[in-house]
Structure 1
Amino acid sequence: MRWITIPVLLLMLTASAPIVADKEPIRLGYIPLTDCAPLVMAKELGLFEKYGVDVEVIKEASWANVRDKLLTGELDGAHCLFSMPFSVYTGVGGKEGSEMKIALVLNNNGQAITLSKDFCGKVGFKQTPKVAPVVAAKLKAEKEVTFAMTFPGGTHDIWLRYWLAAAGVNQKTSKIITIPPPQMVANMKVGNMDGYCVGEPWNGVAVKQDIGFTEISTQDIWKHHPEKALVVNKKFSEARREELKQVMKAVLEACKWLDNRANRKKASGVVGKYINAPADVIEARLMGDYNLGCNQGTEIYTDDYMLFHRGGETNFPRRSHAIWFMSQYVRFDYLKEAPDYKAVADKIIMQDLYKEVAASMKIKVPDDDMKPFVLDLDKVKFDPNNPGEYLKSVNAINQ
């Protein structure tokens, strides 16, 4: 009989086991929203293990909580509003100069503005144009309206303000408050606000509970807009760079998996448990099947519902998009002076790292960064190379 020494036996056993870094687990936070799905499914499908990283996925209460934990290092990374790192860095939504890094974009589309049933039949919703002047007139005629969004300078905040501006509503006459996403429906139910902008499933849930209706989906404001991103702590991005690359690979593979429509029913059930929301509501809007509420019927989105990969078009973090959001901070009077747009975008977005990871996975990197684009709602063209001229053209500070 051949004897095997203990050291040799241990070597044989560990050789076939998944390679997991001999470090503290990587802690990734998420907010209860449908678009946390890439992190959730990377965990549930065993993709983090596949790429040799030990990851904990942790539910957080609010975007402010996510911000604070990212900055202190309590979280290594998180499912995060794409514009939040720019809001924080410029001082709109945090201490000016605080750095959080964008590794990749998690999804496009799939947010919405919900209005209370009090306005059912009183505004020009879902007509052409999507936002008619009658919206502004009738809203103002009713009362001073209160709207909610989820974080100052965040994506939901900017979608709401952009829609109001397009409707001709003077934002100084409207009250805009901050509410965490999972609390939107409950707050509307007790009358704390008249409308809100948030991600799914909380717009679909308002329709299901018959307390609100979908006024407009954000893909109708800007088709394929950036929405959530994988955002990481600065120190983590530097000290554990190789592990970050493996995390990115796992998340990118999950994004590909999610864009296979055949997988969305399964994803809806899994995500529903993570965010404590009805799987049927999650699934319907993930499939582009929007019951709008308020006798508006159903709208079917065929190529612009919530998307997670689009052959790499979704995931590439563009500096031009960062510059657009920062220009809105100036437009809506969050910032008195324009920041150094390109320098901030370069500091926050880890574009070189993304390109390296994408190349290793044979994911095509789009070549449209820093090219002008047009928003669908008002057909206004934005040139990231000349945001000052854009701001003059919209004449929009404190519209």
Structure 2
Amino acid sequence: MKKINRREVLKKGVTLGIATTGLTGLMRGRAQPKKLRIGFIALTDCAPAVMAQELGLFKKYGLEVEVAKEASWATTRDHLLSGEITAAHCLFGMPFSVYTGIGGPAGRVLPIAMVFNNNGQAITLSSQDFGGKVGFKDLEGAGKAILAKKKEGKPLTFAMTFPGGTHDLWLRYWLGACGVSPASDVRVIVIPPPQMVANMSVGNMDGFCVGEPWNGVAVKQGIGFTTVASQDIWKHHPEKALVFNNEFFRANPEESQALTKAILEACKWLDNVANRRTAARVIGQRQYVNADPDVIDARLQGVYELGGGLGRRNYTDDYMLFHRGGQTNFPRKSHAIWFLAQYRRWGMLKEKPDYEKIAEAILAQDFYASVAKELKIPLPKDDMQPLGGFIDGVTFDPKDPEGSIKKYKVREL
């Protein structure tokens, strides 16, 4: 497919709809041109990084950027820590997993500058194992089918993408809501996102949790069906984030700000639904996600063909969102604490962590606030308020994470 550049997008009459506020400030202290490498994984929600490149937004802010496809989240982590890449489209949970030693060298800081998106991931079940037995959002049916296999001495295998990452926690949360223990009732393995469908097709797993478009691709190929979307597990959850190499972030504040502004403008552009078909064509190209643009576009529009005879589900206010008037992009301390509490819940952390200290070490809230102010993006005022919208009806209080853990029926401490 021919690469669609910014000029061609504009010729097609697609409105950028992005603010130019903040340019004056950058002209006074403009970042000097220097090629930066931004990593991404082949997932639909890499769109802010890819479109910032394709729409010329990095250049608008004086940056020369290479967007580099990474093979897995583990390589993304390694390249961020080594400085081989400057920043990355990254799992929101990865910096906390690394810092706590679950998914990397303990104590290493990977700063989160902003959140890329909410929602838009899913859990796919094998048509062969679950077809006709489990419906959409069918917690009871899924729990019975999974535990029946365990009773037969054939425990099922589920895949996620990185220990302590977002997909890991959506999978565990869903299993817990089904009455299933991720530690003792099933086997949980790690598979890179683009390899999920191929692995399920040869029987290496019975279900997986991953970002789009790979759930949609599994449906189109007839090997799996969507039993639940991540927004059904937790509405408006944080998903991917803009994560920096710490040394670069501390030493290069102007370039870091310029990069963040470009990504923020791309997020605003993506939340104009009229632009999403164009985005699907661009990111579907081989050098990016390498998947059918129609599959990408459908779920970007909130139209989910579930597969497995389950029909269609239309999401109207909680499909994949990239901006929401600034509600999406602010990195919340309450979300960081929720992730750390889930690590406790599932036995990944044996001792109580210093929740607030870790959140403050990772989240660059003041940095984000300064960038948002220049772009006239309002800051949400709900941080550290109780979190709701979960599939099991539990409310999480970030001011009492240890007490909140005790609310769960299935927990492993």
Coarse TM-score class (shorter-chain normalised): over 0.9
Give the structure with higher Rg (CA).
1
Are 1:136 and 2:143 matched, yes or no? yes
SS of the residue 1:317 aligns to: coil
Deviation at 1:113, TM superposition (A): 0.2
How many matched pairs? 379
Deviation at 1:275, TM superposition (A): 1.1
Partner of 1:240: 252
Q: Distance in 2 between matches of 1:233 and 1:300?
A: 38
Partner of 2:192: 180
Q: What are the equivalent positions in structure 2 for 1:117-136 lying under 5 Å apart?
A: 117-126=127-136, 130-136=137-143
SS of the residue 2:284 aligns to: helix
Partner of 1:4: none
Q: Distance in 1 between matches of 2:133 and 2:242?
A: 36
Q: Distance in 1 between matches of 2:351 and 2:409?
A: 15
Q: Distance in 2 between matches of 1:351 and 1:149?
A: 29
Q: What are the equivalent positions in structure 2 for 1:266-281 lying under 5 Å apart?
A: 266-273=278-285, 274-281=288-295
Indicate which of 180, 188, 193 corresponds to 1:169: 180
Partner of 1:64: 74
Q: Deviation string for 1:226-257 (max 9, x for gaps)?
A: 00000001111111111110111110000000
Structure 1 range deviating more: 112-121 or 175-184: 112-121
Partner of 1:146: 157
SS of the residue 2:66 aligns to: strand
Partner of 2:12: none
Structure 1 range deviating more: 168-177 or 262-271: 168-177
* CA gap 1:140/1:31 in 2 versus in 1, 3 angstroms: same
| Maintained 8 Å contact 2:180/2:410 | no
Partner of 2:361: 347
* CA gap 1:46/1:23 in 2 versus in 1, 3 angstroms: closer
Q: Distance in 2 between matches of 1:151 and 1:134?
A: 27
Q: Deviation string for 1:70-102 (max 9, x for gaps)?
A: 001111100000011000000110111011000
Q: What are the equivalent positions in structure 2 for 1:309-388 lying under 5 Å apart?
A: 309-388=323-402
Deviation at 1:260, TM superposition (A): 0.4
Q: Distance in 1 between matches of 2:324 and 2:32?
A: 34
Q: Distance in 2 between matches of 1:394 and 1:140?
A: 19
Indicate which of 209, 214, 225 corresponds to 1:197: 209
| Maintained 8 Å contact 1:20/1:53 | no
Identity of aligned residues (%): 60
SS of the residue 1:394 aligns to: coil
Q: Distance in 1 between matches of 2:37 and 2:113?
A: 15
Q: Distance in 2 between matches of 1:119 and 1:299?
A: 22
Indicate which of 120, 124, 144 corresponds to 1:110: 120
Q: Distance in 2 between matches of 1:24 and 1:242?
A: 12
Q: Distance in 2 between matches of 1:73 and 1:363?
A: 30
Q: Distance in 2 between matches of 1:283 and 1:235?
A: 37
Q: Deviation string for 1:101-152 (max 9, x for gaps)?
A: 00000000000000001234443322xxx24323212222233100000000
SS of the residue 2:111 aligns to: strand
Q: Distance in 1 between matches of 2:50 and 2:131?
A: 38
Structure 1 range deviating more: 262-271 or 112-121: 112-121
Runs of 4+ in 1 over 6 A off after TM superposition: none
Q: What are the equivalent positions in structure 2 for 1:283-298 lying under 5 Å apart?
A: 283-298=297-312
SS of the residue 1:290 aligns to: strand
Q: Distance in 2 between matches of 1:324 and 1:108?
A: 15
Amino acid at match of 1:247: L
| Maintained 8 Å contact 2:231/2:318 | yes
* CA gap 1:243/1:56 in 2 versus in 1, 3 angstroms: same
Deviation at 1:397, TM superposition (A): 3.1
Amino acid at match of 1:237: F
| Maintained 8 Å contact 1:289/1:299 | yes
Q: Deviation string for 1:14-55 (max 9, x for gaps)?
A: xxxx99844641111000000000000000000001111111
Unaligned runs of 5+ residues in structure 1 are 1-17
Q: What are the equivalent positions in structure 2 for 1:19-58 lying under 5 Å apart?
A: 21-22=31-32, 24-58=34-68
- TM-score (normalised: structure 2): 0.90
Q: Distance in 1 between matches of 2:68 and 2:103?
A: 22
SS of the residue 1:245 aligns to: helix
Partner of 1:93: 103
SS of the residue 1:196 aligns to: strand
* CA gap 1:23/1:47 in 2 versus in 1, 3 angstroms: closer
Amino acid at match of 1:231: V
SS of the residue 1:113 aligns to: strand
Amino acid at match of 1:141: A
Q: Distance in 2 between matches of 1:393 and 1:224?
A: 21
- TM-score (normalised: structure 1): 0.93
| Maintained 8 Å contact 2:271/2:323 | yes
Unaligned runs of 5+ residues in structure 2 are 1-26
SS of the residue 1:144 aligns to: coil
Structure 1 range deviating more: 169-178 or 388-397: 388-397
